[in-house]
């Protein structure tokens, strides 16, 4: 083979991005990491020993987010309906939420509050802020209607068997009535499906 004269042949390209050396993780850093992990694990050491020994530790129950037994079995909806029905005969007064008088959204707000569920205070807020109802109406569902009143919305609560309870307007006490069709939307407080 003949030697290649200088300047002839392949020259490696210059390194455009020189490699940086990463500092090695020293023994002190490893010791710090292990110490922190041991401190975090210490409260759970007894459970871990049980797992290693083949026993199951006492672990807290894990629930799905947004669900509780009271919501899934309709107990809260039943309490809300019972509260709303107990207000029948009380006068309508715009902007009130009980205990002596109610407006429409004040009634539904107070009923769900009595059942332990926080919902928006106004009919428009309830329509915008609560999950839309899917399928058939269930007791406790809220029906939002268009209205000529100050808020332009009216809300009533379904109570079952084609009936609803509502605080309709001035001069009409809280009452139970047949569900009227034509609502803008129906919402379901309490996370029920």
Q: May I ask the CATH architecture of the domain 69-191?
A: Alpha-Beta Complex (3.90)
SS3 13: coil
Burial class (CB in 10 A: 0-12, 13-18, 19+), 78: middle
SS3 110: helix
Q: CA dihedral defined by 120, 123, 127, 131, rounded to 10 degrees?
A: 40
pLDDT, residue 192, reads 61
Q: Please report, rounded to a whole number, the percentage of residues in the chain having pLDDT higher than 90.
A: 53
pTM of the model: 0.61
Could you report how far apart the first and last alpha carbons of the chain are, in Å?
A: 84
Mean pLDDT (whole number) for 55-66? 45
Q: Where are the domains of the chain?
A: 22-59, 69-191
């Amino acid at each position: 083979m003949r030697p290649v004269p200088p300047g002839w042949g392949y020259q490696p390209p210059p390194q455009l991005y020189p490699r940086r050396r990463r500092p090695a993780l020293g023994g002190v850093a490893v010791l710090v990491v292990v110490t922190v992990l041991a401190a975090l694990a210490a409260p759970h050491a007894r459970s871990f020993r049980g797992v290693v020994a083949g026993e199951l530790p006492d672990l807290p129950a894990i629930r799905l987010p947004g669900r509780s037994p009271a919501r899934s079995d309709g107990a809260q909806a039943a309490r809300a309906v019972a509260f709303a029905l107990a207000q029948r005969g009380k006068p309508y007064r715009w902007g009130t939420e009980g205990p002596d008088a109610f407006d429409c959204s004040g009634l539904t707000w107070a009923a769900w509050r009595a059942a332990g569920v926080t919902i928006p205070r106004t009919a428009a807020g309830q329509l915008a802020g609560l999950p839309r109802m899917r399928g058939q109406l269930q007791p406790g569902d809220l029906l939002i209607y268009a209205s000529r009143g100050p808020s332009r919305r009216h809300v009533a609560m379904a109570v079952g068997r084609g009936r609803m309870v509502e605080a309709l307007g001035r001069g009409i006490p809280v009452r139970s009535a047949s569900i009227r069709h034509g609502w803008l939307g129906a919402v379901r407080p309490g996370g029920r499906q």
